[in-house]
A and B are shown apart, each in its own frame.
Chain A
Amino acid sequence: MSRRKIIFLVLLLIIQLCLIWPVYPLFSNVHPLILGIPFSFAWVIFVLLSAFLLVLWYYLTDPEVDSSSSSSEVE
């Protein structure tokens, strides 16, 4: 397994743990309000954005993306 993939899987595991016990309970309070949003809610949105950035990074560094496109590419 490549180092890139290992880093990805470790970060993915951390992200998953952030959404459940035991990590999410540490961030489960109402206060402080972040931009007017309860901390427990803002945390989930923050993790959502982190997951987005993680997969985006993995995609941008994906060695297969350029070579594997099929001919019928239309956008």
Chain B
Amino acid sequence: MEGWITILIICGIYLALTLAMGIIPGLRISESVTGFVAGDRSMNLLILYFVMGASIFSSFAFLGGPGWAYSRGAAAFYIIAYGITGMIPLYFFGPKVRRLGEKFGFVTQAEILEDRYDSRALSVILAVVSIIVFIPYLTLQMKGAGYVLTTISEGAIPGWLGAGIAYLVVLIYVFFSGVMGVGWTNTFQGIFMMVIAWFIGLYLPYELFGGVGEMFTKIAESDKSTMLTAPGLTTGGQPWDWWGFSSAVIVSAVGFSVWPHFFMRAFAANSDRTMKLTIVLYPTFQLFLVPILIIGFTAVLAYPGIEPADTILPYVLTQLDLPIVIIGLVCAGTLAASMSSGDAILHSAASIGIRDGVAKFLPDHLNTDHKQRKYIRILVIVISLIAYYFAVFSEVPIVNLLLGSYGGVAQIFPLVFCMFYWKRANRAGALSGLLAGLAVTLLFLFYPEWRPFPLHEGIYGLIANIILLITVSLATQPESEERIQRYRNA
């Protein structure tokens, strides 16, 4: 009984440090929307690097990553594969987006697209899509945090309390400091979880098999060796086909750079150099997925048959006779992974909801910077409560909603690309492309048996999207020359 109290003390220290790191930078930020949403465009390389890295590596990385490796083998390499090229478009878009933001005061993705395509409807559609995607995403992060605290406290801390405490901390620093709170805490959380991941990823195979090489040799000699052959297994345990693997990698890579909470960080960069270097250094963050997957592989032979697979990391921790401090650190690391994504999503969802959604309908009520900032903060609280409700009280299977989100988010990419590189792209083309892409993706998500080939639903969406974007744009009037030049020369 003594053990879990030590663990909770470690988690408590972690939460206290995070809270302090989140509140202090808020004292220096200006009392404006730009300050709250884009950190006064002042993020340096260190902060931007960790914000971009830690936002993506969520509790999915700490719980889902090992789960995939454990149950689906080589299929888990997909998680690394799509990020390898997925980030690179931002090397080109990022500096342009940053400069336009500085010049015209944009702080969200929808704002810049709204301006290029001269369409308020586009902004509202993007706001709706973002919030639909973000709420389940945030809900899953909360569930992950609650789950970890429940497991290690042997049930003494129920899920509602664990998730509540962790996300109360997030709520406070996001409310108070905006994106700079996200930035500083993510730097702390990012370093912390990288160290933990490498340590556990190397320690577990050493403890159980005598080393990483010995562990893989044992799997390769066993009857499970086929799971190490790419592209691994499906969720049902059957061999995955190359069509499915390849199309999933492409859709996720296309969508990666245009995730709204990710894309809008370009507005926070303090220079083009910072933006570009963040992309250059991004693969160093991705290497951290290697030990994460090794954790899952370690359990394949040592602990077969654990259901659900996502619980494999906490399960292994409870089985081994590890020093209690290490278990505490791993739990705090998992909380860090959950919170470092949750904070960025919460902040972005509220900012986008007000700037791109509500403000378009109530321009008279949200006409000042001060009011907008106030309402963004209120929405931070509202979204936290909604996500908390789904995390704790609702039985709606939201995981399915999130799985569909990659295909949906990828539909934003053609619009962003054409914003800078195709001057004929116009409002009608952008709207019809985006709507058709979303509709087709949803159709094949809900009716997978209608797909002509076993490809990811997002591929069909992208095909419809690009065809309509091109043909409708060509069939209608181009945007004004002055508007296009602004983006050509950005």
Contact = CB atoms under 8 A, between A and B. Distances in A.
Interface in B172-228: 211-217, 220, 225, 228
A75 B45 contact: yes
B468 interface: no
B85 A21 contact: no
A68 B272 contact: yes
A21 B242 contact: yes
Q: Is the interface of B mostly helix, strand, loop or mixed?
A: helix
Interface in B68-106: 74, 77, 80-82, 84-85, 88, 91, 95
B287 A40 contact: no
A19 B81 contact: yes
Interface string B223-261: 001001111000000000011011001100100000000
A52 B284 contact: yes
A63 interface: no
B211 A36 contact: yes
Nearest to A40: B230
Interface in A10-32: 12, 15-16, 19-21, 24-25, 27-31
A43 to B, nearest CB: 8
B85 A31 contact: no
Contacts of A24: 230-231, 242, 246
Contact of A48 (B74, B220, B286): B286
A63 to B, nearest CB: 12
Interface stretch (B157-165, B273-281, B320-328): B273-281
A17 B151 CA distance: 42
B85 A16 contact: yes
For the complex of A and B, the 4 pairs showing the least CB-CB separation, nearest first, are A36-B213, A20-B246, A28-B230, A52-B283
Given A37-B213, A40-B229, A51-B85, 11 more contacts: A16-B85, A16-B253, A19-B84, A21-B242, A24-B231, A36-B217, A40-B74, A45-B290, A73-B271, A73-B273, A75-B44
Interface of B: 41-42, 44-46, 74, 77, 80-82, 84-85, 88, 91, 95, 211-217, 220, 225, 228-231, 242-243, 245-246, 249-250, 253, 270-274, 276-277, 279-280, 283-284, 286-287, 290, 293
